[in-house]
Amino acid sequence: MTTITTRATILVKYEASQAAASIIAQATGPARHAARVEATLAAATQWLLANSEHVDQSAMPHNLAWLLILELHGVGGPLNAGGKDASTSRILKSLGKGRWQASDGAAYRAAALAALTSVSTGRITLAPLENGSVQVSLGDDTDVVHATLEPWFARSLAIRGILATAEETLADWSAHLGAEGMDVQLVGDPIAWGAVVDTCEQEINSRSCCAP
């Protein structure tokens, strides 16, 4: 994995000159961002390969997008619907300090958003299926992923899907994940998203560890 020289390291190295430290840190910012994007894509791919029992290898780009969306949307918050009020937990804990609210959280969030954009240049659409899977559309390219890939985070996203598609609650819960920085649209209906929640809960109940 790419070794990333942090801003803090540069500031310490050149602490004898505040001007030098600041200028070098600014000049190397784009390279650090590019390295974090590369590290994010590598960590996500490695995570998918390590959990290959839940991954259709023919749909790797769609699984990669699904994983990054779950990572960015988060788990917890009101009604456990993730989003901007989600907890600091992450799936890719090996990156940086491993928490969104850590000092490097914003930088790694920007990297994850850039990584997601690199997977699909158009809007991403997520549609629940009655069997508890999710159809991921990357522009015009569509495939199905298993919600059980990371069931805790997928459950939060599916709860968001219920709230964003039910006529009683859709006014308060946007189906577009723009508030989280993603051009991702949730479609479908509360019943189908409920099936995804049920599938995730069945998977969670079958596991004895690994809750975020």
Strands 141-145 and 124-128: unpaired
13 has a pLDDT exceeding 70:
yes
The answer to whether 43 and 94 have CB atoms below 8 angstroms apart is yes
Alpha carbon dihedral 147, 173, 190, 67, in 10-degree steps, equals -10
Mean local confidence (pLDDT), 8-21: 75
Question: pTM for the full model?
Answer: 0.89
Number of domains in the chain: 1
Q: Is residue 106 part of a domain?
A: yes
Per-residue pLDDT tens digits for 185-212: 999 999 999 999 999 999 999 987 777 7
Find how far residue 131's CA is from the centre of its chain: 23
Domain that holds residue 41: 7-206
Q: Is residue 56 part of a domain?
A: yes
1 has a pLDDT exceeding 50:
no
Q: Is residue 103 part of a domain?
A: yes
Q: Is residue 212 part of a domain?
A: no
Confidence of residue 3 (pLDDT cuts 50, 70, 90): low
CB within 8 A of 26, min separation 6: which ones?
Answer: none
Specify the pLDDT at position 68.
97
Per-residue pLDDT tens digits for 150-171: 999 999 999 999 999 999 999 9
Q: Is residue 1 part of a domain?
A: no
Q: Where are the alpha helices (DSSP H) in the chain?
A: 7-13, 18-27, 29-50, 60-73, 105-119, 151-165, 190-206
Confidence of residue 22 (pLDDT cuts 50, 70, 90): confident
Number of other residues whose CB lies within 10 A of the CB of residue 116: 25
Q: Is residue 69 part of a domain?
A: yes
